[in-house]
Structure formats: structure tokens, C-alpha cells
Chains A and B, each alone.
Chain A
């Protein structure tokens, strides 16, 4: 089991591979284009204009030791330690629901579905801190497209693993387990939305959601569910873990929005990890150009 994990680190995601991939990515998303061509006869995934990032990366130590991951602990400092012995192999991810081609992937099959890309995204936590991380993954669209969603697939529900024996935080009802998240189908198909299995050129550490997590850079971090076991396409808006536990605090959309305060955290400003001062938070975490059209005509204060 461990062998598989090692294999992926050695063969698939060496820093050089990442570096080359990045070059390739910057040269116009060639990998995406290729994978779109090799599509299964359905509409390919859009490339979108993935914004290039010039911001300095968050220190890897910070990004991997300051974790909000209630499955292990509500204490951000303890997660990395408690997650050390979590085994992300073997692992399967079931894609099911309103699809014509449901499929259960082995994680190593899923990560090789299309050529992985490195993308540098800002991740903004609802608690008012943020980081800039080079993620390694594939667009979620590639997986959804292969499942061939039916006309009834209006939302995508994501369900994490439930394994209280190795996830000590799950022994407490701090949230309803397994952790559940959701996106509207157009959000899920958006080119910025990624399924991630690596960061900083290495396999995703346990504390950051190994073996597979979602990254939706224009939404608060809790939408970017970790340790995904199931992806279900559904007709009705799924009830997410945080909305269930505090519906007035955590909405379904959870788009980064400086104009809508959380009762405990001001959303007007944020702290980049490691910095002592704050900076202004941008609407949609700075990805408005790419994603604002998804919400045209919607009241984003009511749909927070």
C-alpha cells in the first residue's frame, strides 16, 4: 500500500515534471488541449483564462502546518501531527448519481486521467487568513465529463472519507461526519475548479487532504473538501456539513466576498500566513474576471 504512495512521488510528480508541466501550462495549456482532443465524444473541458500568479508563494512549512481539518483536530497546529499516520492508500473515488457512466476510480488511475497541471492559487480561509499555493491536479471537469452527466445533474455533492479509527477528530461531533460539500454544476465544471493530489511539487500531504482534495479558489477554504471518497451528481442542492451545523454562518455558495461579514470574522481583510499586517480581501478572492459571470443577476448577499 505504501509502495503505491512512494511510486507516485518518485515517478509521477517529481519537481522536474512539475516544472516542465508548468512551462507547458504557461505555453498555452497544451496538456488541456490534448486531453480535450482525446475526449470521449462529449464536449471538452474549457481551458478558460487561468490567471498567472506573480505573488510570492506561502512558505511550504506554513501551508502544511496550519491546517483547518476537523477530521483530525479543531486545532490548526495539531493537524499535521495527528494526520501523520493516516494512510491514503488504497483509495477509491466513486463518481455516481445523475450520470450515464458511473465509475469507481482507483486513486492512481484518477490522477493519471489527464496530464496533471500545476496552478498557483490563492486560498482564502473564512477565518480571515490566506495562502498562495502551487497545487498539482486536474480540472474537475475532466472527471465529470467522463461520467456523462444527465440533464438532472444540477449540483455536485462531494463526500469525504469517514474513518474515525485514523481520524481522531471524527470521534467528536464537531461537525456531521462524513464531511460533505457541494457545488453547482457550472461551478464544478468551471476551468478554475481543480481536483488536487499534489502541492509544492510533491504528493499532497495527509494534513492537506491526501490523497485527493478539491480546490475552488474563489470560495472560502471550507468548500475545498479534503480526502474525497465520493463525487455524486445530484438534482437538488446538497446540504453541506458547515451549512448543517451553522446555516446562518456558512452558506452554500461561500464565495469570497468582502462585503458580507461572518459573525466572527470580518471578510474585508485577510492575513497572508506569516504576515503581521492585513491586506484587503478581493471579491471572489481576486478571480472575479473568471467567475463573476457564473453569478450574474444573483443576490450574493442573500446567497452568501
Chain B
């Protein structure tokens, strides 16, 4: 399969791919900007920009969670079709590199979302925000999600990865909780009779289900362990001791 083998060159172009992802993810903001100048934001423009920024943040957040299962899925798929490339998890490590970009973009949109709320909805009054947080529980839940995203964004760099070692992964696992809080935020703000958060809830449930299966069932873990994802390695930071044994046992090709 010559076409498929071309996949092997992707990692070399990771820089360009990151730029593409960045541009794609920034297009909603650009779209809102254009609509703003064309006076095309609809009849309730504040609601429109608040909601779009929140929704994009949630979508990107969920996208970061799909990276790991996606690597497993692609590895399985390539193995099944006997592709020349892509049968090892490590062939898909470049996807892990995209995860940081996507995660930071999710944070960026959450910050825009919060700023829109703070400046335009609440007129920049911290006092009013505090009152509002007490009045409307969905805001407190959204705020908690945002506050929890801050340390993740601050440590999404090679330096912090190396410094935190194994604690980095522990810290970043909180993204699952953040995603749960975000979907809860969405449900809580959705009016009776509307089910807009449903698809996001399904996707999150599937991702959480996969994660639980992956980390709790010993045999499943063993099957996958050989190519266990090492974000530190993917990011180019060399692994801490606990991962050494994995590197010594690269998956053998059949």
C-alpha cells in the first residue's frame, strides 16, 4: 500500500501540521470577528459569541481526549490491513504532539468565553460576577472547569513536563474531570425540552468508557502497554525512569 506508507513522512512535517491545526481552530474566532464587522452576529449577538466560544472550547477539549484512543484505533486498523506503516503505536506519536496545541487552544477559547462573560455580560464587575456565580450554579461549574484548566495550560510545555516527572501525568489526568464539568455546565444551562449537549455527552461517555477499560482491566492494559503512550517522549523530552522498561521492549512486528 504505497499511499499508506506515505503516512510515515507525517512526523517530519509536524510543525506544518501544528500550524494547520492552529489555523483551523482559530477560524471560529475569525468568523465571529468577520460577522461582527458585517453586523451579522444575529439578533442576540452577545449570546451568540458567548455560546460559540464555549462550544468551541468544549469541542477542542473533547478532541484532546480522543488522541490516545485514536492512536490505538489507527494502530489496530493499520495492523488489520497489513499496512507498511502505522502498525506500531509509536507511529502515531505525532498525534500526541498535536494534543498540546489543541489543549492550549481549548484553554484559549475558554478564556475568551470567560472574558466575554466578564466584560460584556457582567460589565466587568467582579462584584456582579460573584453574585451571579451564587445565583446560577452552571456558572460556578463552568468557573471550576476554567480554574482547573489554568494549571494544565501553565504546565503544557517541555520544561514543566521534565520538572514534574510522573506528577505531570497525574496533574493532566484532571482533564477528564474538566470535560465532565464542562458537559455538566452545558446541561445545566440548557433549557427544558432542548437536548443540544447530548452528542457531547455521548462522546465524552465513550471516551471515559474507553479510558476506564484501558486503565482498569489488567489484560487490556497489558495488551496495550507495549506501545503505551509516553507524552514525554512524544514531546521530545526524554523519559523518566519509570518508562525505561517500556523503551527497552519495543513492540515486535509480526
B residues 78-131 in Cβ contact with A at 8 Å: 120-121, 123, 128, 131
Closest chain B CB from A245 CB (angstroms): 5
Of the candidates A62, A249, A278, the one whose C-beta lies within 8 Å of that of B43 is A62
Chain B binding surface, main DSSP class: helix
Contact A261:B123 (CB < 8 A) given known A74-B191, A274-B43 = no
B residues 179-216 in Cβ contact with A at 8 Å: 188-189, 191-194
A180-209 CB contact bits vs B (8 Å, 1 = yes)? 000000000000000000000000000000
Contact A129:B192 (CB < 8 A) given known A263-B137, A277-B120 = no
Contact A276:B193 (CB < 8 A) given known A261-B135, A263-B137, A264-B188 = no
Closest chain B CB from A128 CB (angstroms): 8
Of the candidates A61, A266, A273, the one whose C-beta lies within 8 Å of that of B135 is A266
Q: Are A174 and B192 in contact (CB under 8 A)?
A: yes
- The reply to whether the CB of A271 lies closer than 8 angstroms to some CB of chain B is yes
Of the candidates B47, B123, B131, B135, the one whose C-beta lies within 8 Å of that of A271 is B47
Q: Are B44 and A264 in contact (CB under 8 A)?
A: no
- The reply to whether the CB of B250 lies closer than 8 angstroms to some CB of chain A is no
Closest chain A CB from B31 CB (angstroms): 16
Question: Which residues on A sit within 8 Å (CB–CB) of B69?
Answer: none
CA distance in complex: A111, B189 (Å) = 40
- The reply to whether the CB of A110 lies closer than 8 angstroms to some CB of chain B is no
Question: Which residues on B sit within 8 Å (CB–CB) of A271?
Answer: 44, 46-47
Q: Are A274 and B192 in contact (CB under 8 A)?
A: no
A289-302 CB contact bits vs B (8 Å, 1 = yes)? 00000000000000
CA distance in complex: A70, B45 (Å) = 22
Contact A77:B42 (CB < 8 A) given known A129-B47, A266-B136, A277-B123 = yes
Question: Which residues on A sit within 8 Å (CB–CB) of B42?
Answer: 66, 77
Q: Are A266 and B46 in contact (CB under 8 A)?
A: no
Question: Which residues on B sit within 8 Å (CB–CB) of A246?
Answer: 192
CA distance in complex: A276, B48 (Å) = 10
Question: Which residues on A sit within 8 Å (CB–CB) of B132?
Answer: 266
CA distance in complex: A261, B120 (Å) = 19
Q: Are B44 and A278 in contact (CB under 8 A)?
A: no
Q: Are A66 and B192 in contact (CB under 8 A)?
A: no
A248-282 CB contact bits vs B (8 Å, 1 = yes)? 01000000000001011110110101111110000
A61-78 CB contact bits vs B (8 Å, 1 = yes)? 110011000100010010
- The reply to whether the CB of A31 lies closer than 8 angstroms to some CB of chain B is no
Q: Are B43 and A273 in contact (CB under 8 A)?
A: yes
- The reply to whether the CB of A175 lies closer than 8 angstroms to some CB of chain B is yes
Contact A245:B45 (CB < 8 A) given known A263-B136, A278-B121 = no
Closest chain B CB from A177 CB (angstroms): 12
Question: Which residues on A sit within 8 Å (CB–CB) of B46?
Answer: 271, 275-278
B30-60 CB contact bits vs A (8 Å, 1 = yes)? 0000000000011111110000000000000
Closest chain A CB from B34 CB (angstroms): 15
Closest chain B CB from A83 CB (angstroms): 16
Of the candidates A74, A261, A266, A278, the one whose C-beta lies within 8 Å of that of B193 is A74
What is the chain B residue whose CB lies nearest that of A125?
B44
Question: Which residues on A sit within 8 Å (CB–CB) of B43?
Answer: 59, 61-62, 65-66, 273-274
Question: Which residues on B sit within 8 Å (CB–CB) of A70?
Answer: 193
Closest chain A CB from B70 CB (angstroms): 32
CA distance in complex: A127, B138 (Å) = 15
Q: Are B123 and A129 in contact (CB under 8 A)?
A: no
Question: Which residues on B sit within 8 Å (CB–CB) of A277?
Answer: 46, 120, 123
A residues 150-173 in Cβ contact with B at 8 Å: 172
CA distance in complex: A268, B125 (Å) = 13
Closest chain B CB from A188 CB (angstroms): 26
CA distance in complex: A77, B189 (Å) = 18
CA distance in complex: A266, B123 (Å) = 14
Closest chain A CB from B138 CB (angstroms): 7
Question: Which residues on B sit within 8 Å (CB–CB) of A59?
Answer: 43
What is the chain B residue whose CB lies nearest that of A261?
B135
Contact A245:B135 (CB < 8 A) given known A66-B43, A271-B44, A273-B44 = no
Most buried by A among B44, B128, B188: B44
Question: Which residues on B sit within 8 Å (CB–CB) of A268?
Answer: 128, 131
Question: Which residues on B sit within 8 Å (CB–CB) of A74?
Answer: 191, 193-194
Question: Which residues on B sit within 8 Å (CB–CB) of A175?
Answer: 192-193
CA distance in complex: A62, B136 (Å) = 28
A residues 47-70 in Cβ contact with B at 8 Å: 59, 61-62, 65-66, 70
Can you name 8 A-B pairs with beta carbons within 8 Å? A59-B43, A261-B135, A264-B138, A264-B191, A271-B46, A273-B43, A273-B44, A275-B46
Q: Known pairs A129-B44, A263-B138, A266-B132. 13 more at Cβ < 8 A?
A: A66-B42, A172-B193, A174-B194, A175-B192, A261-B135, A263-B136, A263-B188, A264-B188, A266-B136, A273-B44, A274-B43, A276-B45, A278-B46
User: Closest 8 A-B residue pairs measured CB to CB?
Assistant: A174-B193, A261-B135, A66-B43, A62-B43, A273-B43, A74-B194, A276-B45, A246-B192
